[in-house]
Structure 1
Amino acid sequence: MIDATPLPQYLVQRYHGWRATAFVENRAWYRRLAEDGQRPRAMVIACCDSRVHVTSIFGADSGEFFIHRNIANLVPAYAPDGEQHGTSAAVEYAVKTLKVAHLVVVGHTNCGGVQGCHAMCSGHAPELEEKTSFVGRWMDILRPGYERVVTLPPEEQIKALERQAVVISLENLMTFPFVKAAVESGELSLHGVLHDIAQGTLDQYDGRSQAFSLVT
């Protein structure tokens, strides 16, 4: 027996409110999405963090973004080893089937995953080093980023590592042959941004200068 229970009442009430307003007012649009399928222009890879609301940040409506979320908005390197890869599968579907024109990695400040990676790599979170830690093994993706920031003053390392979570993901995306081919043909463009939760700002990454700058 699966121990699943009915939704909490506050979610039920919110659902009824959405269906009575937003859905009813846009019924034709939802019917079109259902019948014609999705044609998103962009894929967004963001953190699971509940404070990062990517559709609100970009003012997106249903059908605009193909969204994948994971701990610390990381993309692993291309590794077709027969294991189950949720992020890699999402990237493959977005690029090869949906043929999105843009792929955006959205990092953010005060990321718990990044903080965990820093603690693990600096020897302060031995529990994340355990082979049984799903979070720890996932954060191994960001270990090369830690090596890049470890020589910085301690107070600057985590903020720099948050940016490396975006950069490492962009670098790893280019190890996927189908991503690399789409980028080189001009069919796909990669983008990386860092969202400051407290300030509401975005910094975007420029691959040529290898630096982040404020989106104005």
Structure 2
Amino acid sequence: MKHARRLPSYLANRFKGWQATTFAENKSWFRHLAQEGQHPRSMIIACCDSRVHVTAIFGADQGEFFIHRNIANLVPPFSPDGDFHGTSAAVEYAVRYLKVAHLIVVGHSNCGGVEGCHDMCAGVAPDLEAQSSFVGRWMEILRPGYEATSKLDTRADRLRAMEQQSVLISLENLMSFPFVESAVLTDNLTLHGVWHDIGPGALHVYDPEIGEFSEV
């Protein structure tokens, strides 16, 4: 592949530092992970946003989380049409083969994907409305969230509500997967929704009893 290049030196140097410290101090644990395979307790579905560092937020170690990231932490509805489905494949692998006990959808504040969806649905983002936009077509999953929050007074309120809608819509869509529904109904899997407020470092968890997100 003639267009590929070597790693930037700062990344190579960071790797060497990790190898000389964290790896060197935990060689037996890494050998165990390599030999025994992965047995994560939880799957995390989070946004690609570089500010959302889910392993740091939850203090997770290697081997603890099976992580899938995409634009705006969305899960599409079950649709076995034979096309490529990265998110659906990750969910299937985690639930059916890794048999995770928890599946956690992590939304966050200031989400660019959610903002783009808001503007696309409002008719002010023609680039995203184009059929050629991968982001726009993906964000159609969240359109019901725009419709549910469109009557809120301010743009900031609508965006925050849509960020939380991205979590709730994903949880609803997860239940459209037969193997997820079966695992949930037999108490082999629990679903969780959280929203991370980046600035103050807060975490809000969805409480189904009150139908709202409340801060941990």
Find the counterpart in structure 1 of residue 175 from structure 2: 174
1:61 pairs with 2:61: yes
Q: Structure 2: any 5+ residue segments left out of the alignment?
A: none
CA displacement, residues 103-129 of structure 1 (integer Å, 9 cap, x when unaligned): 000000000000000000001101101
Q: Which runs of 4+ in 1 moved over 2 A?
A: none
For normalisation by structure 1, the TM-score amounts to: 0.98
CA distance in structure 2 between the partners assigned to 1:114 and 1:22 by the alignment: 36
Alignment CA distance shift 1:206-1:2 (3 Å): farther
Find the counterpart in structure 2 of residue 160 from structure 1: 161
Alignment of 1:67-86 (within 5 A): 67-86=67-86
CA distance in structure 2 between the partners assigned to 1:53 and 1:61 by the alignment: 13
1:48 pairs with 2:48: yes
Q: Percent identity?
A: 65
CA distance in structure 2 between the partners assigned to 1:102 and 1:110 by the alignment: 26
One-letter code aligned to 1:43: M
Find the counterpart in structure 1 of residue 186 from structure 2: 185
> Which has the higher mean CA deviation after the structures are superposed, 151-160 or 73-82?
151-160
Secondary structure, aligned partner of 1:11: helix
CA distance in structure 2 between the partners assigned to 1:58 and 1:159 by the alignment: 22
One-letter code aligned to 1:3: H
How big is the shift at 1:152?
Answer: 1.1
Q: State the aligned residue count.
A: 215
Q: Structure 1: any 5+ residue segments left out of the alignment?
A: none
Find the counterpart in structure 1 of residue 115 from structure 2: 115
Find the counterpart in structure 2 of residue 31 from structure 1: 31
CA distance in structure 1 between the partners assigned to 2:159 and 2:195 by the alignment: 13
> Which has the higher mean CA deviation after the structures are superposed, 37-46 or 198-207?
198-207
CA displacement, residues 57-91 of structure 1 (integer Å, 9 cap, x when unaligned): 00000000000000000000000001100000000
